[in-house]
């Protein structure tokens, strides 16, 4: 498996490497995905509400990077990104890729680091960002905190109980490192072979970090097998760039990802985060005024 990953990284370097000075003229583009594998019933919407029609589509399917997924029990989908990110998602649950931007050299097929934000609410999620370029950022927002995988192979499970508002979850690190930011601001690190278990409400989950169980390790091996069967070729990588979309921003430098306030204000196409923490039920209460007693009446 390591040989395959090394070949994958070498492929990216062949497509991406240019002298440092040539990287000064770069632009931000919205990334794209290849959808190779999916089951019947999976729901996928692009940003703006456009539905992906899997019934009439021909595999592999190409799409822009901003995509919302909903899956029932047993439904699944596998995506490979233009930045080397691979994702497998399985229901019951919801997930939305709310930001996927990537540097691209002007008038060239040379691509650079990327920024990705995934809003992951529930279900089973595998991610592999070991092939992303140095300087890339991957953030996964969840109801129980923020996840930041680094050069990692991960398995995430989140289950929500709609009756009592409780969430139970587990995060398993197969390779690399995962940083977890608790809602209270505290930060924890999970390393290869470790898992984090948790249960609680949206704002106050309790957590425990232990060694991964054998069944979790088998899940990672199953994902590795899926990655081996869905490696993107050099021609597919180049072809995928034709589905990327230029972002309406000023020329950016590869040395930083900070945009000026004016540039952000000029952004015409804003991204709306559709998911918010589930509110607590509201019970209405109507007060009742008692009649005044004789003693109280005499006071007036």
State pLDDT tens for residues 103-150.
998 888 788 999 999 999 999 999 999 999 889 999 999 999 999 999
**Mode of pairing for the β-strands spanning 145-161 and 137-142:** antiparallel
CATH says 2-296 is which class? mainly beta
List the one residue out of 231, 233, 240, 238 whose CA is nearest residue 4. 231
State pLDDT tens for residues 206-257.
999 999 999 999 999 999 999 999 888 888 888 898 999 999 865 443 333 3
**Mode of pairing for the β-strands spanning 111-128 and 137-142:** parallel
How confident is residue 172, by pLDDT bands cut at 50, 70 and 90? very high
> Range with the lowest mean pLDDT among 7-21, 76-90, 119-133, 286-300?
7-21
pTM of the model: 0.76
Which single residue is written with the structure tokens 């869905």? 230
Question: What's the CA gap between 285 and 25, in Å, rounded?
Answer: 62
- Mean pLDDT to the nearest integer, 81-90: 96
User: Within a 10 A sphere around the Cβ of 119, how many other Cβ atoms?
Assistant: 19
Calculate the alpha carbon distances from 165 to 156, 157, 180, 257, 278 in Å: 19, 16, 21, 37, 8
Q: 121 in helix, strand or coil?
A: strand
State pLDDT tens for residues 186-215.
999 999 999 999 999 888 899 999 999 999
What is the residue-averaged pLDDT of the chain?
Answer: 81
pLDDT of residue 164: 82
């Amino acid at each position: 498996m390591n040989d395959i990953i090394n070949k994958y990284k070498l492929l990216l370097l062949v497509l991406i490497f240019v002298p440092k000075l040539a990287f000064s003229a770069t632009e931000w583009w919205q990334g794209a995905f290849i959808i190779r594998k999916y089951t019947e019933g999976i729901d996928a919407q692009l940003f703006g509400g456009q539905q992906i029609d899997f019934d009439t589509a021909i595999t592999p399917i190409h799409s822009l990077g901003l995509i919302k997924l909903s899956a029932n029990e047993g439904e699944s989908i596998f995506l490979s990104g233009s930045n080397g990110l691979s994702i497998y998602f399985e229901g019951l649950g919801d997930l939305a890729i709310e930001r996927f931007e990537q540097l691209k050299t002007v008038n060239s097929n040379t691509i650079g680091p990327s920024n990705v934000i995934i809003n992951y609410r529930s279900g089973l999620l595998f991610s592999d960002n070991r092939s992303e370029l140095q300087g890339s950022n991957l953030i996964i927002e969840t109801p129980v905190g923020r996840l930041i995988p680094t050069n990692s192979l991960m398995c995430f499970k989140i289950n929500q109980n709609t009756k009592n508002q409780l969430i139970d979850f587990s995060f398993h690190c197969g390779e690399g490192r995962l940083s977890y930011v608790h809602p209270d601001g505290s930060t924890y690190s999970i390393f290869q072979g470790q898992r984090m278990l948790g249960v609680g409400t949206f704002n106050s989950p309790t957590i425990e970090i232990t060694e991964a169980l054998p069944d979790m390790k088998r899940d990672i091996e199953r994902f590795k097998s899926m990655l081996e069967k869905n490696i993107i070729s050099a021609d597919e990588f180049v072809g995928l760039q034709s589905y990327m979309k230029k972002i309406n921003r000023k020329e950016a430098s590869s040395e930083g990802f900070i945009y000026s306030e004016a540039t952000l204000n000029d952004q015409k196409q804003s991204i709306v985060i559709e998911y918010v923490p589930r509110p607590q039920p509201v019970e209405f209460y109507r007060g009742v005024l008692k009649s005044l007693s004789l003693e109280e009446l005499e006071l007036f």
